[in-house]
Amino acid sequence: MTQAVRRSGPVAAMRWDGWLPWLWLLPATIVLAPFFFMPLLLLFRNSLNRDDAVALMVPDFTAANYIKALTDPFYLELFSNTIGAALLVAITATVIAYPFAFFIARYARRSLSLVIWAVYMPLFVSVIVRVFGWMIMLADSGLLNNLLLRAGILATPLRLLFEVDGMLIGMIHRYLPLAILPLFNAIQKIPDELYRASSNLGATPVGVIRDVVFPLSIPGVAIGLQLVFAGALSDFVLPQILGSSRFRMLAPAIYTEATTNMSVAMAAALAVLMLVFIIITLAAVSVLLRRFAPWARSV
């Protein structure tokens, strides 16, 4: 009997240790989960209703809003514009972030805290303040055009403000930290011994980055792409303020449908489709990485 009790003790402790992390998460889950899932359920229920010119939104259970969103050329253009812009922002931000993340992970050891602080700081600045800063920078008589004109690079100012190009510049600037931080974390984990071993075996600096650093940093690349793509896809402020009315994107269109057109059910359907597309994209990237890059299990 005593031996049975002694044997059950470690087993029970192991079982308790397995449940303990979930118990730590329980209070936050109780507080956050209802306020996360309940609005989503309400949004989905509203998307199945029917818009009416007089009664605004009539209770119903129809997929007409989804069918219209996926077949109407106007809404298809919204999706194509938004997906294309989000992909461009995600890829450009990752390309810009990679050499910067590599530099601070490998060479900015003494000033690392200062550099990381500089990367984090824009995330704490209100996006409205940053947008107005970019409006000053991108105006026809703004700082960027003045510098290019005085340097003789341009003869006439570039039209950037309230254009797609200016919007993309602002979005890349806004989401660049979300690309830098995962890349920095992935590159910093690569042991110094691998760099030395690669060099001793005859690899050039470019070869080390191509054959060693980049494959091992793919998890950081994937996470950065996912974060930037999801953020840019659902961005409202920058397309609304910096963008062009000739290039409509999804988030401002959802706002217009709900407030100006009074099509609340249609706006809800567009929002649900946007969330579904983000979830499918993030899941697909993770599955592809685990299939073709087995070392990227941390994604």
Any idea which residue has 């999804």 for tokens?
250
Please count the structural domains in the chain: 2
3-state secondary structure (DSSP) of residue 298: coil
User: How many angstroms separate the CA atoms of 117 and 288, rounded?
Assistant: 33
| Mean pLDDT computed over 199-205 | 84
Same domain, 180 and 285: yes
- pLDDT tens for residues 240-285? 999 888 899 999 999 999 998 889 999 999 999 999 999 998 888 8
Question: Does residue 297 register a pLDDT over 90?
Answer: no
Indicate the pLDDT class of residue 41, thresholds 50, 70 and 90.
very high
User: How many angstroms separate the CA atoms of 156 and 137, rounded?
Assistant: 16
- pLDDT tens for residues 54-96? 878 899 999 999 999 999 999 999 999 999 999 999 999 999 9
Residue 172: per-residue pLDDT: 95
Query: How far is C-alpha 277 from the geometric centre of its chain's CA atoms?
Result: 13
Spatial contact of 258 and 34, defined as CB atoms under 8 Å apart: no
- Indicate which CATH number applies to the domain containing 247: 1.10.3720.10
Mean pLDDT (the chain, rounded): 87
Same domain, 146 and 99: yes
Same domain, 15 and 148: no
Which token pair is 234? Answer: 């659902």
User: How many angstroms separate the CA atoms of 139 and 263, rounded?
Assistant: 34
Same domain, 109 and 4: no
- Asked whether residue 231 is assigned to any structural domain, the reply reads yes
Instruction: Return all residues near 148 (Cβ < 8 A) that are at least 6 apart.
Output: 154, 158
Beta-strand runs (E) in 19-87: 50-52, 56-58
Same domain, 134 and 271: yes
Backbone angles phi, psi at 159, to 5 degrees: -90, 100
Indicate the pLDDT class of residue 171, thresholds 50, 70 and 90.
very high
Buried b / exposed e over 67-77, threshold 16 CB at 10 Å, is eebeeeeebee
- Asked whether residue 17 is assigned to any structural domain, the reply reads yes
Spatial contact of 266 and 65, defined as CB atoms under 8 Å apart: yes
Residue 8: per-residue pLDDT: 52
Which token pair is 66? Answer: 């989804």
Same domain, 109 and 216: yes
Same domain, 184 and 248: yes
Same domain, 228 and 90: yes
Instruction: Return all residues near 26 (Cβ < 8 A) that are at least 6 apart.
Output: none
- Asked whether residue 139 is assigned to any structural domain, the reply reads yes
Residue 299: per-residue pLDDT: 41
Question: Does residue 4 register a pLDDT over 70?
Answer: no
For 113, which DSSP code?
H
- Asked whether residue 61 is assigned to any structural domain, the reply reads no
Same domain, 97 and 14: no
Phi-psi region of 202 (alpha: psi -120 to 50; beta: other; left: phi over 0): left
Q: Which domain holds residue 24?
A: 1-37
User: How many angstroms separate the CA atoms of 285 and 293, rounded?
Assistant: 11
Residue 5: per-residue pLDDT: 47
- Asked whether residue 63 is assigned to any structural domain, the reply reads no
Same domain, 18 and 104: no
Same domain, 267 and 136: yes
- Asked whether residue 72 is assigned to any structural domain, the reply reads yes
Same domain, 17 and 92: no
- Asked whether residue 297 is assigned to any structural domain, the reply reads no
Residue 84: per-residue pLDDT: 95
For 52, which DSSP code?
E
- Asked whether residue 14 is assigned to any structural domain, the reply reads yes
Question: Does residue 43 register a pLDDT over 60?
Answer: yes
Indicate the pLDDT class of residue 102, thresholds 50, 70 and 90.
very high
